[in-house]
Structure 1
Amino acid sequence: MTMIKNVSSSPRIVSESRLIAGPESDVKIHLINKRLADLPRFSAERTLVMMHGATFSSASLFDVAVAGASFMDVLAQAGYDVWAVDARGYGGSSRPPDMSRAPEEGAPVVTARTAVQDFAAAVDFICRDREIVSVNVLGMSWGATIAGAFASAASAKIEKLILVTPLWLSKEPLRIDAGGPLGAYRIVSPRAFEAAWRGAAPEHARHDLIPDGWFEIWEKAALATDPDSPHPDTIRAPSGAVQDVRVHWTADNPFYDPGAIACPVLVLAAEWDVDVRFDMAHDLFVRLASAPYKRLVEIGQGTHMVLMERNRQQAFDAVIGFLNERVAPAS
């Protein structure tokens, strides 16, 4: 295991980057950790482990500081020992060998099944390191697939589950799948992604969706997660998540059973999300039949990337409020 530690611009937050053993001997999993320097103790209730989506790694989804703080900074300031995981093929984790060749030379790598194994290894490491037996879990988009599948199979390890713009069943094609043959990975330009990001909002709202300067900060952070990409100003993203869409989410074949999730659940949706529409999030919510309690929150004037948009504080407040609750709402 390697570890890099520094104190962020806020003197009270400690930031660590760790590289831990994965589920196979040749796999290393990258973790980011942030917490208050004077956090009095570690506990299951105050530990949160997060999983990224299909295209961008955890650093570029959860730890880009705009307006003075990233999502991870805000969670740490709220008193949480917060971790973010990169599945293999993403960010600082090991890249499968096929990702060092031309995309068309390999089959799609890093499906949800593989990512669940990586996430489970990360949770086990965190529980050992912090001497706790369970954690809170947050997954975004495809990462919600990983989080949901993990929670459905390991309920004893989960305190609370948060699913942000969660990928789920769709009777319509999804934007992430452009059709055609799938290679091992995709070449993604964050600059080109900006058009799709803003394009989900009504035309009159596209400029103000992302405050001035935020996109440029995010783009720089995203590109830094894959300095070895073979094309300038791009990152590589495994194609396994797109294969998951074809095999599961547009084939009426759920990857996991939400009814098996036995912890409190928050589902967070966004009004202008065209990647995971509200009907998809609501269908998932209805199926969470075993949750002791559950909540569905829709953030107005937000898209699939709501955690990096002007209304992000509403999403932050919903997440932290849910985590802070210590008892189920009265029936």
Structure 2
Amino acid sequence: MSGAMQAAVALFVMLLMPATTVSGGNIEREDMFVDGEHGISLFIREVRADTAEGDAVPILLLHGARVPGVASFDLPVPNGSLAADLANAGHVVYIMDARGYGFSTRPPEMSEARDENPPLVRSPAVVKDIAAVVEFIRKRQSVERIALLGWATGGHWGGYYASLHPDRISHLVIYNSLYGGSDEHSLIGHGSGLEDSDRPGRFNTAAVGAYRFNAASSLFGSWDRSIPVEDKSAWRDPAVADAYAEAALASDDTAGTREPPSFRAPSGALEDSFYMATGRQLWDASLVDSRVLIIGTERDFWSRSADRETLAQHLVHAKEIRSVLIPEATHYVHLDRPERGRDRFIGEVTEFIGSE
């Protein structure tokens, strides 16, 4: 990405999310790009309060398989920005887009037909992107270790990175993520549309393609089904839902060229998730030596109790292991209303990352 294009994208994103005031101080945001491997440019956002504590560990937030960083973690509405909440707790917070997502470099194959290439951006590629961003943060903040928080697929990406670079991570939060311990998953496992019916146990590359198009309406099916009341606004603020969809679409400058408008997401994360859902393990938690917080929600459709239990068993060298199940909460608890689990989630994370 050229310098001029980077500047234009950064300005566009900053217009989406101006500086805001929250209890405790003014929240400031700075958008920038970090060089990854082979000319890849990685978008990151720094979020900090003017009350940031100098000795508080920096935190890097990792998005999941579909919606990129800003849309996942920094929406311009009340209770829509996990990044601002963590910044208000004293941390300098960073949000990144992995390659192929949001404002980071997209593989050229994402401009080709979806059926011309295998699923793009699998976990080893994302781990390299995380490595580049972590090194940038360590130098910028003058620290040896940082904290990682990964949501869903972001959790296994973060764990994978921490297993390869244990000396870089002080705290690891894995939130509603697959890991292993079961070969059954009703949504994305055996018998689902992700399995090749002609070759059981293999990912259905032909049906899924190299990347996917995601309309705004596709963001809410699983969320709505996991809310156990007819009036979804009782659980999820409509302003948060609107901002989530708007930011997701705004993350792709080609979204408006399709009807309905849709943003692109690589399919490599889905392939990795299918294999974890059918009993494979992609990384080894025994290599992690940081403090680890495993968070699950009772109404999650993605991770399983076996993922949390097996992960905890494998964390034999972690300095501390905490495992929390938030009752009645959905997969999207950090975007739900405070009384529907969001306050509990933020309290668990801030207390944990604030521990020594």
TM-score (norm 1): 0.90
User: Is 1:39 equivalent to 2:29 in the alignment?
Assistant: no
User: Is 1:48 equivalent to 2:62 in the alignment?
Assistant: no
Structure 1 residues 206 and 283: CA distance shift in structure 2, 3 A: farther
8 Å CA contact 1:198, 1:207 repeated in 2: no
* Partner residue, 1:14: 28
8 Å CA contact 2:178, 2:303 repeated in 1: yes
Q: Distance in 1 between matches of 2:149 and 2:53?
A: 23
Q: 1:265 aligns with which of 283, 286, 292?
A: 292
Q: Distance in 2 between matches of 1:18 and 1:300?
A: 38
Q: Distance in 1 between matches of 2:52 and 2:225?
A: 41
Q: Which amino acid aligns with 1:198?
A: D
Sequence identity (%): 28
* Partner residue, 1:329: none
* Partner residue, 1:172: 184
Gap regions ≥5 residues in structure 1: 327-331
* Partner residue, 2:214: 188
Q: Distance in 2 between matches of 1:292 and 1:102?
A: 47
Q: Which amino acid aligns with 2:168?
A: K
Q: Distance in 2 between matches of 1:291 and 1:253?
A: 22
Q: CA deviation at 1:212?
A: 3.2
Note the 1:226-305 alignment, pairs <5 A: 226-229=252-255, 230-231=257-258, 232-246=260-274, 248-305=275-332
Q: Distance in 1 between matches of 2:186 and 2:316?
A: 26
* Partner residue, 1:23: 37
Gap regions ≥5 residues in structure 2: 195-203
Structure 1 residues 21 and 223: CA distance shift in structure 2, 3 A: same
* Partner residue, 2:346: 316
Structure 1 residues 107 and 14: CA distance shift in structure 2, 3 A: same
User: Is 1:70 equivalent to 2:97 in the alignment?
Assistant: no
Q: Which amino acid aligns with 1:281?
A: R
Segments of 4+ in structure 1 off by > 4 A? Answer: 1-7, 203-207
Q: Distance in 1 between matches of 2:212 and 2:117?
A: 11
Q: CA deviation at 1:245?
A: 2.3
**Worse-superposed segment, 282-291 or 149-158:** 282-291
Matched position secondary structure for 1:301:
strand
Q: Which amino acid aligns with 1:135?
A: I
Q: 1:137 aligns with which of 142, 148, 168?
A: 148
Structure 1 residues 278 and 65: CA distance shift in structure 2, 3 A: farther
Q: Distance in 1 between matches of 2:296 and 2:320?
A: 17
Q: Which amino acid aligns with 1:309?
A: D
Q: Which amino acid aligns with 2:96?
A: V
Q: Which amino acid aligns with 1:216?
A: D
Q: RMSD of aligned C-alpha atoms?
A: 2.1
Q: Distance in 1 between matches of 2:80 and 2:118?
A: 38
Matched position secondary structure for 1:146:
helix
Decide which structure has greater helix share.
2
8 Å CA contact 1:199, 1:206 repeated in 2: no
Q: 1:97 aligns with which of 105, 108, 120?
A: 108
Q: CA deviation at 1:38?
A: 4.8
8 Å CA contact 2:51, 2:88 repeated in 1: no
Q: How many residues align?
A: 322
